[in-house]
Structure formats: structure tokens, C-alpha cells
Amino acid sequence: MNARDRIIVPLDMSDGERAWLTVNALRDCVSWFKVGLELMNMVGAPRAAGLVKRQGRNLMYDGKFADIPNTMTGAVKAAVSHGADMLTIHASAGWESICAAVAERGSAKILGVTVLTSLAETECLSIFGDMPDRKVLQFAHILSDSGADGIVCSPQEAQTIRGFSKFNSMIIVTPGVRPAWAAANDQKRAATPAEAIRAGADYLVIGRPILKPPPEIGSPKNAVERIVEEIESVK
């Protein structure tokens, strides 16, 4: 895969005009943009998706759906109608709800969110009763058995998942990716772009290092070029 096609820029903002300008500024640098809950709730899901699709870019629709099967069915239908190329659900929604989402995906890819990258080990243990690597692996089995197309997890767990041939065909998307020159912010289980690719990630969600790069890096476009070079350096 081309290095530029591996980068997903999240539009985690509440300003529709700013989101439009961001896509317009970076559309020649990257192929994917992620629309999440903040933008969806501020401007409405159809408009938020349209900010990406009308500029001819690929859309990761990050709704993180987690509900009963009937509600999942309707939510996925709506996301697909908005032009989602990939859309997220929570793996913790359970087997039946994941199957319901998969049945309505059309040409979109269903990705299961496992353990959020903002959670440290102690929080994961408190919430899920297990450590991140074991819990993510358990979720990965549920997602695979339910027919989901991919997994959202940290780079650390990506390496564990890639150790099982069962998951060879599954897409791995990793948030929490931070170049060495960027601040970690609220990410607890982060890795550099090169580390994430070596771990087996297919796509990297990279927000603040691109949208608000350090002054010494320059513009968002300059940040993308630095990240592309790092990805291309991986052998």
C-alpha cells in the first residue's frame, strides 16, 4: 500500500468550515479522513460525511456504534447511506450486534473498536477485567467470528494480533500514533508511525501531529511529508 494511503487524518473538530478547509488543504497529501462524534454532533452526520465525500476522499465514519442488534442495523444503514468507506462499532457490543452491523455494511468495511488507546493498563483491568493485550485478542476473535472486516487497536496489540494467521485478512487501524517529534497528549499506549507499521498496522490515525505540528516541523503538509518518509523507511 502507498504510504499516503495508510494515513487517516481525523476531523475531530466542531467547526464545519474548518473541517472543509482541512480536507481541502490535505486532499492531495492523504486519501483518508475520519469523521467522529464531535463533528457529527455539531453539524449533523450527513453534512459531516459530505465534507469528506464531496472532495473525493475516503471516509472513515467513526460512530463507534454499540447497541442492541436492531439499533445497530439502522445505524449502519444510515452510515452507509452517508458514504462511509469504513465505519466503526464497539467490539464490546457483542456477537449478535456485530453480526447485525456486518449484514448491513454494503461495500463499507466494519471495524471493531477494542480497547481505547487512552486507557492505561489499570483502567482496562478495571473496566474489562483483563490487561489490554489479552482483552484485545479476545475482541479480535469475536470480530473475526462475526464477519467484521477489521480491528481498531493500539500498535502494541497490533503485533499480538498479527501473530495469529486467523487474522491475516483483517484490517488493523491504529490510533495513538505519535511521531517522535510530537507530544503524546492523552494517548497512553502510543507508538511512532514506523513502530506501528512494523507491528502490522494497515492504517494509522494521526491527528494533532498533523493538524497542529510543532513550529519546527512547519505546516500540516510538512508534517504529512515527514510521516510519509518515516512510513516509507520501514522495510
Beta strand residue intervals within the chain, DSSP E: 7-10, 32-35, 58-65, 86-90, 109-113, 150-152, 171-174, 203-205
3-state DSSP call for residue 206? coil
168-187 exposure pattern, b = at least 16 Cβ within 10 A, e = fewer: eebbbbbbbbbbeebeeeeb
Annotated catalytic residue within 34, 53, 64, 235: 64
Report which of 60, 72, 50 is spatially closest to residue 30, judged by C-alpha positions: 60
Whole-angstrom Cα distance, residue 81 to residue 92? 24
- CA 141/CA 53 separation, integer angstroms: 32
**What percent of the residues of the chain are helix, what percent strand, and what percent coil, each to the nearest 5?**
50, 15, 35
Known catalytic residue at 64: yes
Active site residues: 64
